[in-house]
A and B are shown apart, each in its own frame.
Chain A
Amino acid sequence: MASREDPAGASGGAPMPQRPPGRARTFAFARPLWLLVGAFLAVAAALVLWNVLRPAPYSYLSEPLSNPTVATDFTLLSASGPVHLSDWDGKVVVLFFGYTHCPDVCPTEMMQLAKITASLPSTDRERVAVAMISVDPERDTPQVMATYAHAFSPAFHGLTGTPDAIAVVAKQYYVSYQKTDQTGPDAYFMRHTASVYVLDPNRRLTLIYGGDDLASHPDHIARDLRHLLTRSS
């Protein structure tokens, strides 16, 4: 490894007083140079090590919304009284808009949300609030919503409200809904956005999942929820 310029003689060699002045100058020049090379190598090695060892940036299932803003607070009705979105500040909030007469899509998604939250460690599960908001407030009373939501998980929240209150909240999440195939005053279906909205513990809308994601990537979604919790703590 020793090179021709290696000033080994300089570092160990003859006693200083015997050296000619020229040699002393070389010695004075060489030491800072080698210190510099050593420092450079040390920094390079540290950078390589950092790149190898640092955790990769977390990759969410769906691209997080850029510049998330704090969601507007709302007040809706549960069977045990009014519920405010801000009641869940400090938790990850999962919102789903649906209706209890829905025979297919809504129970499918609620069932998946129940599986996903059940897969979380209990300390994380307690910090995730899942709420289904009715887009059919005419038929979905607070009691019906509670029965429905609790059937999937006792911890789930079923929320409804006046048609006006629902409309205001739905608009904030760009949720559209309308009656279809009405055959009687009480006989109709709803056409509705069936995505799932995730707010971080600071109430910022961060992730939106399509309904199909719940069935196809439940484990990734569970990791996303946990990551939102750890990110904030």
Chain B
Amino acid sequence: MALSATLAAPPTLTLQDAWLRWIPAPVPNTALYGVLVNDTNVDVRLVGGTTVLAASCMPMTTHKEDTGSPSGPVVSMVPVEALIVPAHGRLRLEPGGDHLMVMGLKSPLIEGTEAELTLRFDGAPPLTVNVPVLRK
């Protein structure tokens, strides 16, 4: 039964182990983390998202640049047009790496609650997820 259901299900794009980082008000920005798993035959591009919680969502990547300074690397978060989830592959959104920035929070986040976000892609339909707001 389970097997036939699996076989019958269309190839999907899912977000696993997702969480939204709790951040103290009035800080306006936070990030969504998790693993996007692409079971389809085509590359999918994460291009943004929407949520009632914030003004906008933007795919970003964190660059570390070794400038040779004794003080260590310089980091910058860089907005990108899209983050790619390869066909039959995955994209890790994780602290210090690629992430979906959630910009312009409209009200304070409450740790332990759930947040609804809709991710937008090129190559796949929008994906609505409910993720926990975690302080970690």
A residues within 8 Å of B by Cβ?
Answer: 100-105, 107-108, 111, 144, 147-148, 150-151, 173-176, 180-181, 189-195, 197, 208-212, 215
Contacts and interface: CB of A to CB of B under 8 A. Distances in A.
A215 B78 CA distance: 21
Contact of A103 (B26, B69, B103): B103
A101 B26 CA distance: 10
Nearest to A143: B26
Given A103-B102, A104-B62, A193 B72 contact: yes
28 contacts: A102-B29, A103-B60, A103-B101, A103-B103, A104-B31, A107-B30, A108-B96, A144-B26, A147-B25, A147-B26, A148-B27, A150-B24, A151-B24, A174-B69, A176-B69, A176-B74, A180-B76, A189-B78, A191-B76, A192-B75, A192-B76, A195-B71, A197-B71, A208-B70, A208-B71, A208-B72, A210-B72, A215-B95
B44 interface: no
- Of the four ranges (under 10, 10 to 19, 20 to 34, 35 or more), the interface on chain B belongs to 20 to 34
B96 A173 contact: no
Interface of B: 21, 23-31, 60, 62, 67, 69-79, 95-96, 99, 101-103, 135-136
A105, A151, A174, A191 interface centre (most CB from chain B within 10 Å) = A105
B80 to A, nearest CB: 11
B72 A148 contact: no
Task: List 5 A-B pairs, minimum CB-CB distance, nearest first.
Answer: A151-B24, A191-B76, A195-B72, A174-B71, A108-B95
Given A103-B31, A105-B62, A195-B71, 10 more contacts: A102-B29, A104-B77, A107-B23, A147-B27, A173-B71, A174-B69, A190-B76, A192-B76, A193-B69, A194-B73
A210 B69 CA distance: 12
Contacts of B103: 103
Contacts of A150: 24
Contacts of A176: 67, 69, 74
A28 B135 CA distance: 82
A93 to B, nearest CB: 16
Contacts of A192: 74-76
Nearest to B29: A103
A111 B62 CA distance: 17
Contact of B79 (A181, A194, A215): A181
Contacts of B72: 193-195, 208-211
Contacts of A101: 27-29
Contacts of A144: 26-27
A193 B79 contact: no
